[in-house]
Structure 1
Amino acid sequence: MNIVGKRWTIHILLELYKGEKKEKGFNELKRKLSGVTPRILSARMVELESEGLVVKRVDNSTVPARSEYFLTESGEDFIEVIQGIKKWGSKWKFNNSECDRSVCKYCDL
């Protein structure tokens, strides 16, 4: 819970997982996660990187340099934990048939 219990952490991991593109830039994440402040997003990215769930790749060939983030193998494994929680919630806590049918990778919710 010390790793993923903080606000925005699970949202960040899911956002990195979503879609066809594996890498996402900081500003792209900030746009997709409406409500997160740049300071909090930056802090969570550093924490996720230090825990080995996310890797930061810096492209110095552009000005300014572009940072992209992507899930590590450990981070991708953790998505299965999140999906297990979703499955449990669907069974016991909420009734959302649309969410039951969706695949988290392609879900916009």
Structure 2
Amino acid sequence: MHAECTVNQTVKYLGRKWTLLIILELYKGENYTRRFTEIKEQLPGITAKVLSARLKELEEEGLVKKRVEAGSVPVRSEYTLTGSGLGLVEVIKDIKRWALRWKIDNLACGAQDCHDCML
């Protein structure tokens, strides 16, 4: 596969562990926003170092916007999906539909919107 290939370039950052799950956690937040600690609590097994790195990558790619409240103690960081990030959620939903049809028999998941998912 050529380095210039669009799929190859996209998979470089979307294919990294935790990336799509972080996007989904932001999607579940009010106004598609969550604090760092909220995301970490919802993703058991992710380290603060990895979460920080993935959020920075997503911000650099324009999928997430970071807002820092420097006046609060401790400093409060919030992350919000951008329009591009919300567009990616639709791709994730397509992957979910494909998986439910062809690979995964998950009745609990069904056809519910990922925004309301508690799984």
Q: TM-score surpassing 0.5?
A: yes
Structure with higher Rg: it is: 2
Q: How does 1:93-104 map to 2 (within 5 A)?
A: 93-104=103-114
Displacement of 1:19: 4.0
Number of aligned residue pairs: 109
Instruction: Provide the rounded CA distance (Å) in 2 between the counterparts of 1:54 and 1:45.
Output: 7
Structure 2 match to 1:52: 62
Moved more, 42-51 or 92-101: 92-101
Deviating 4+ runs (over 6 angstroms): none
| Structure 2 unaligned blocks of 5 or more | 1-10
- Greater relative contact order (CA < 8 Å, ≥ 6 in sequence): 1
Q: Give the SS at the match of 1:102.
A: coil
Over aligned residue pairs, what C-alpha RMSD do you find? 1.2
Q: How does 1:1-109 map to 2 (within 5 A)?
A: 1-109=11-119
| Structure 1 unaligned blocks of 5 or more | none
In structure 2, the CA distance between the partners of 1:43 and 1:19, relative to structure 1 (3 Å rule), is closer
Amino acid corresponding to residue 111 of structure 2 in structure 1: R
Query: What percent identity do the matched residue pairs reach?
Result: 50
Instruction: Provide the rounded CA distance (Å) in 2 between the counterparts of 1:20 and 1:98.
Output: 23
Q: TM-score, normalised by structure 1?
A: 0.93
